[in-house]
Structure 1
Amino acid sequence: MQNYKKFLLAAAVSMAFSATAMAETLKMGIEAAYPPFNNKDASGNVVGFDKDIGDALCAKMKIEKCEVYVSDWDGIIPALNAKKFDFLISSLSITDERKQAVDFTDPYYSNKLQFIAPKATADFKTDAAYLKGKIIGAQRATLAGTYLEDKLPDTEAKLYDTQENAYLDLTSGRLDGILADKYVQYEWLKSKDGSAYEFKGDPVVESDKIGIAVRKGDPLRERLNKALAEIKADGTYKKINDKYFPFSIE
């Protein structure tokens, strides 16, 4: 009888240990300064499309605890590779240069790059001749910043640590325009500060694929891809999309 009690105790301890071992915590890395994709609310909580997608993926993967790690944009990929968090979901464009440092999942949305400028600048054009000597803002280490530097070398590109700081300089009259992701600009143009500005011309990049980044060789990539396909199939993705946009960004 005593040996049987010992057996039951050992079994209970083993089961408790197994349950603990199976419990999984993942951290998602987010900039939290890029509304409506990622931002902080009045209480300081991280909110936005990226956060909601990250939470939905964690739920599909049955992650017991999914936490948020906030990082400055300039250091967000090094932070991932330094294991400060497990995956990076912060509206990151999939580029060949970034693929050298991280692995990407399948795209979780598609974006476009487009200029905005004051409505009063009716003659604003997006060609190199017009933009020569103009001061155009963009966020540093983004596809927009790279486009200005590579495609418009005669334009004075002014790069910022956050998109919000670029908007501040635009409204202060220190910029002639901004080049950025269309869907981020779409949100800002609806605001009081953005009401005097508008999109100019057609998008200069039509298909900017946005992915989730993981460390090189991390099998988490395949789990995220599976979960992403599942939230698209069961309608979860559409619900999140419709919460932020009256059109599909998939």
Structure 2
Amino acid sequence: MIHRKCKLILCACAAVLTMLAAGCGSSSDSVKSTSQDKPKLVDTIKSRGELVIGTATGYPPYIFLDTSKPGKVYAGLDIMLAQKVADKLGVKLKVQDMVFQALLSSLSSNKVDLAIGGINPTDERRKTFDFSDVYLVSHNRMIIRKADADTYKTIADFKGQTIGVQKSSTQENVAQTEMPDSKVASLAYVPDAVLELTQGKVAGVIAEDVVAQQYLMMNSNLMMLDITFQKDKKESAICVNKGNEDLLAVLNEVIKEEKANGDMDKFLDESDKLAVGLAKQ
């Protein structure tokens, strides 16, 4: 009897182990299959028929609205570059406009395929996202009122004063780290910061030179200070979620082509002229 019971117990254990092994194998195979079956982002974009980009308008010459045309028409260097990417993929371009600080969170939650808008590929951002090759290099500068030219000549002269910057931008970081004796006013858009400057609410605005030049051409009462920040160079690249090497390869191919044929310089020049022209209307 005892021998028979032991035999039954052993058979039951063997059956349980067999089921567990089969279950584990099925789970592993399922995960592996899901991973293998996950479509590449480029294939998804082509199947969808549109490339969805996240950007933040109000940042000429990168991205702004062409108010000379009816409806919401996007213009600027970044839009022209994004259109080239869409053309390369053979799809339409769809733009999701938002405040700058929402760009990366929208990308990480897969609401957009990529983020573009003069985004600096910092080491901190690279921990979470991948970036294309750099398509434009600029430099951080300080904009002030011409009336204050004798008051502000060095960074030290801004002690106790308020500096305007775009929220979540590289320039915000520059102000916070390199001007500890100054107050920082972080605003959603660069035009808001420049408006505060013209109204005397901030002593200066930190912006990259290609952006600052726009406001100097629009307002003769503003000027750029001849000072250099430690974080002087500012690079711009297109941001994508990690694991999308297929889309990254397309982005880099387009950037390389547009630089080689001179179109990138043309995009910047055309965007500069359009933005200034619109501001003077």
TM-score, structure 1 length as denominator?
Answer: 0.83
- Counterparts of 2:263 and 2:175, CA distance in 1: 36
Q: Where does structure 1 differ by over 4 angstroms across 4 or more consecutive aligned residues?
A: none
- Counterparts of 1:243 and 1:222, CA distance in 2: 27
Higher alpha-carbon Rg: 2
1:195 equivalent to 2:223? Answer no
- Counterparts of 2:212 and 2:50, CA distance in 1: 34
Q: Deviations over 1:128-170 (max 9, x none)?
A: 4312101111111111111111111111111111111111111
SS in 2 for 1:120: helix
Give the counterpart letter for 1:33 in structure 2. Answer: G
Q: Deviations over 1:76-107 (max 9, x none)?
A: 10001111111111100110111122110000
Work out whether residues 162 and 204 of structure 2, in 8 Å CA contact, stay in contact via their aligned partners in 1: yes
Percent of pairs identical after alignment? Answer: 26
Deviates further, 106-115 or 226-235? 226-235
SS in 2 for 1:221: helix
Alpha carbons of structure 1 residues 129 and 202: separation in structure 2 relative to 1, 3 Å: closer
Give the counterpart letter for 1:45 in structure 2. Answer: V
Kindly state the Cα deviation for residue 22 of structure 1 after the two structures are TM-superposed.
5.7
- What is the aligned residue count? 224
Query: What are the residue-to-residue correspondences of 1:92-171 with 2, within 5 Å?
Result: 92-125=119-152, 127-171=154-198
Work out whether residues 133 and 155 of structure 1, in 8 Å CA contact, stay in contact via their aligned partners in 2: yes
Equivalence for 1:50: 78
Alpha carbons of structure 1 residues 231 and 129: separation in structure 2 relative to 1, 3 Å: closer
The answer for unaligned runs of 5 or more in structure 2 is 1-45, 274-281
1:35 equivalent to 2:60? Answer yes
1:207 equivalent to 2:233? Answer yes
Work out whether residues 118 and 198 of structure 1, in 8 Å CA contact, stay in contact via their aligned partners in 2: yes
Greater share of residues in strand? 1
- Counterparts of 2:172 and 2:57, CA distance in 1: 19
Give the counterpart letter for 1:77 in structure 2. Answer: L
Alpha carbons of structure 1 residues 122 and 242: separation in structure 2 relative to 1, 3 Å: closer
Alpha carbons of structure 1 residues 68 and 177: separation in structure 2 relative to 1, 3 Å: same
Work out whether residues 56 and 236 of structure 1, in 8 Å CA contact, stay in contact via their aligned partners in 2: no
The CA RMSD measured in Å over matched residues stands at 2.0
Work out whether residues 105 and 224 of structure 1, in 8 Å CA contact, stay in contact via their aligned partners in 2: yes
Kindly state the Cα deviation for residue 242 of structure 1 after the two structures are TM-superposed.
2.8
The answer for unaligned runs of 5 or more in structure 1 is 1-20
Give the counterpart letter for 1:151 in structure 2. Answer: E
Equivalence for 2:253: 226
Give the counterpart letter for 2:77 in structure 1. Answer: F
- Counterparts of 2:48 and 2:101, CA distance in 1: 32
1:217 equivalent to 2:249? Answer no
SS in 2 for 1:153: coil
Kindly state the Cα deviation for residue 228 of structure 1 after the two structures are TM-superposed.
1.2
TM-score, structure 2 length as denominator?
Answer: 0.74
- Counterparts of 2:225 and 2:75, CA distance in 1: 29
Q: Deviations over 1:155-191 (max 9, x none)?
A: 1111111111111111111111111111111011111
Give the counterpart letter for 2:224 in structure 1. Answer: F
